[in-house]
A and B are shown apart, each in its own frame.
Chain A
């Protein structure tokens, strides 16, 4: 029986998104399933951004908190550390201090922090709110203005607050993360709503909502696979923005990254277990189709970069 490799060609392709103004990076742009260069074009590597915060990471578990000791007290120092010492290709600044339950920082304070961080680094910046939909719609508008001209990613726009955030990102020429909750139809609907405002669909990044290994990762995995298949096989342009896996935030709060080996000897070394959890979650989402990852532990980022080396 002669064997003809059953290769597929698809009618659609993922939009390519480039960010930053100094050292820029691009991701997306492929017209095949993840890492399937044997049947099409995969022009860009996925990009891993290091996550930092505007307030010290007091609630991060020890394993990942300690690697930023001495730099994490100040977002500018922290961002420079990621760029200069860790070789970060991008930094994601989460403005957790703006949350009303945290420091309740004002949009103006947040804008100043973003300006200061941008002044200190040359690599692209992703600016994230605190995931309080009301506060984010104020904060992200202010920081969009403060970051004008730097071609950042702003996020996350959700169904409840996308209008103001998308308008600000559009006015200041940034890319925008559109996040919905683990449902391909909600994700499509939000992308449509945002583009109906006149926002360029090629400047969107879809966040179908991350979940950690063992805590619903299979839902994120399958929603991502389905979004990608819709983009490629049905040429559905509302599903063609590249996808984000906001990995670190979801991983470093599950029990597996915190429980002591003394309490759960069958789970093995806590240090490596935590890193493995972030590594495996990120790896799973890359295979499902994520092109942009936000991660915390340098050892996990290093392993994922090596994985991408082998995959490309």
Chain B
């Protein structure tokens, strides 16, 4: 269990020497508790304190990386059960399954899909993270050749190699040398051989049990064999089992510091019904899966899942912001209206959505107010007449307009006179207070 700031404080030198860059040891302890500082910053800390704090600060879910280079995937390090408590740390990785029984064309199509899956959304580049290759044929040679094919076509994409046959596993690991794949498929029957392979090839081992209750004994055994990095599969397949097992695993790790389940979880979402598969994958995103394996990666499904992951894994304490600029909605002409609002992402989404609904082409000036909404931004002195005037002047937008008219949100009607004073030659019009009145407002002009 993580220590509180006060518990950490008791272990510090209490000299308030400021060498760590914080005014007092207590302030430093509070930062440590929030994981916003590192103990290394304290030059005088005792060995005993290092040991205690080191153990306590080890994240309850072990940090594990697989794959290599830019596309390497980080997992684990989670510290909470609910996203409002603290940001979820490492977003779920999406993997698509390739079976070694598939034809070359089928394999090619899926690999192409992975390589072309990248989408830009709100400034983030999102993509399918990994390929899960399964030994459906039970044949070592076929498995090895599928791994070679995939590794050849998509050398940078992280791999998960799935087989319960150690001979097939060894052949596949050789074919994927240097790629730091996950070897998935260690169970009660093959634990020794699989652990040996994981150690030899220095890869993370995917461990699967019949049921959640049997899993801790298995991970302990494998850890005893010298394998530290594991991802775990409690055998949950239905949505009900996934919620149950993933919740119990995260609770055991975070609240009980139960190390035998303190590993990233892999979830299998494959369904014949693609919309249902989308929902199972979304469940994995919301409920603690580090890797989610899917049967297909259509673009529409990827977009929905990437967005879901982005939503769930944003920092609840930092308002989502959009870039300050003048956005075009539709194809505005010099006569089209110009409106202004703040850069809180929700404000932007709601306002731009309503403007789009109005079907009236517009320019929407979105001003950086550190992610505050209109009223809050105004109250905090960030959405003021002089700052609005400065933003518009620097944007050079007046050269694109026939009439220098600015529509401001109804909530800041009070600013209209002041803006006109700061922007000589401009006319300020007060728009509606709520975005949902925008379509009627715009159409009636």
Contact = CB atoms under 8 A, between A and B. Distances in A.
Given A3-B260, A5-B248, A276-B275, A254 B353 contact: yes
Interface in A198-226: 211, 213-219, 221-222, 225-226
Given A6-B248, A280-B304, A287-B283, A214 B311 contact: yes
A1 B275 contact: no
Interface stretch (B3-11, B160-168, B293-301): B293-301
B326 to A, nearest CB: 18
Contacts of A197: none
A272 B300 contact: yes
Given A35-B239, A268-B298, A287-B287, A1 B220 contact: yes
Nearest to A272: B300
Nearest to B348: A215
A255 interface: yes
B279 A1 contact: no
Contacts of B251: 6, 8
Contacts of B247: 33, 36
A269 B299 contact: yes
A300 interface: yes
Contacts of B204: none
Contact of B273 (A214, A215, A306): A306
Chain B's interface: helix, strand, loop or mixed, by majority?
A: helix
Given A3-B216, A276-B275, A299-B275, A310 B240 contact: yes
A268 B316 contact: no
A17 interface: no
A273 B303 contact: yes
Given A3-B261, A214-B310, A268 B302 contact: yes
B346 interface: yes
A37 interface: yes
B279 A303 contact: yes
Contact of A6 (B255, B260, B357): B255
A268 B283 contact: no
Interface string B228-268: 00000000001110011001100110011011110000000
Q: How large is the interface on B (under 10, 10 to 19, 20 to 34, 35 or more residues)?
A: 35 or more
Contacts of A213: 304, 307-308, 311
Interface in B37-58: none
B276 A303 contact: yes
B275 A303 contact: yes
A249 B169 CA distance: 50
A300 B282 CA distance: 14
B418 interface: no
Contact of B258 (A1, A219, A272): A1
A283 interface: yes
Contacts of B287: 287
A229 B298 CA distance: 36
B314 interface: yes
Contacts, number: 173
Given A218-B312, A279-B279, A307-B239, A267 B307 contact: no
Given A216-B349, A268-B303, A5 B260 contact: no
Given A5-B248, A218-B311, A267 B240 contact: no
B436 A215 contact: no
Given A1-B260, A268-B303, A214 B240 contact: no
B279 A280 contact: yes
Contacts of A304: 279
Q: Which of A267, A273, A283, A303 counts the most B-chain CB atoms under 10 A from its CB?
A: A283
Contacts of B305: 280
B299 A267 contact: yes
Interface in B189-218: 212-213, 215-217
A8 B213 CA distance: 17
Given A3-B260, A5-B213, A283-B283, A218 B314 contact: yes
Q: How large is the interface on A (under 10, 10 to 19, 20 to 34, 35 or more residues)?
A: 35 or more
Contacts of A307: 239, 276, 279-280, 283
B278 A225 contact: no
A131 B436 contact: yes
B82 interface: yes
A131 B247 CA distance: 38
Contacts of B74: none
A145 interface: no
Interface string A250-289: 0001111000000000111110110111011001100110
B350 A215 contact: yes
Q: Which of B278, B300, B440 counts the most A-chain CB atoms under 10 A from its CB?
A: B300
B440 A101 contact: yes
Interface in B346-387: 346, 349-350, 353, 356-357
A312 interface: yes
Nearest to B118: A266
Nearest to B307: A214
Contacts of A218: 83, 311-312, 314, 316
A311 B240 CA distance: 4
A219 B283 contact: no
Nearest to B437: A101
A1 B216 contact: yes
Q: Which of A270, A277, A302, A303 counts the most B-chain CB atoms under 10 A from its CB?
A: A303
A150 to B, nearest CB: 30
Interface in B105-164: 119, 121
Interface string A288-309: 1000000000011011101100
A276 B301 contact: yes
B93 interface: no
B298 A272 contact: yes
B19 interface: no
A35 B248 contact: no
A221 B83 CA distance: 9
Given A6-B252, A59-B357, A266 B299 contact: yes
Contact of A311 (B239, B301, B312): B239
Interface of B: 82-84, 119, 121, 212-213, 215-217, 220, 238-240, 243-244, 247-248, 251-252, 255-256, 258-261, 273-276, 278-280, 282-283, 286-287, 298-305, 307-308, 310-312, 314, 316, 345-346, 349-350, 353, 356-357, 436, 440
14 contacts: A6-B248, A6-B251, A6-B258, A214-B311, A216-B345, A218-B312, A222-B316, A225-B83, A267-B119, A268-B300, A273-B300, A276-B300, A287-B283, A306-B273
Given A221-B83, A280-B305, 14 more contacts: A1-B220, A5-B212, A35-B243, A37-B240, A214-B311, A215-B346, A215-B349, A216-B350, A218-B311, A266-B303, A279-B279, A284-B311, A300-B275, A302-B275
- Report the 7 A-B pairs with minimum CB-CB distance, sorted nearest first: A268-B299, A303-B275, A268-B300, A273-B300, A310-B239, A218-B311, A214-B307
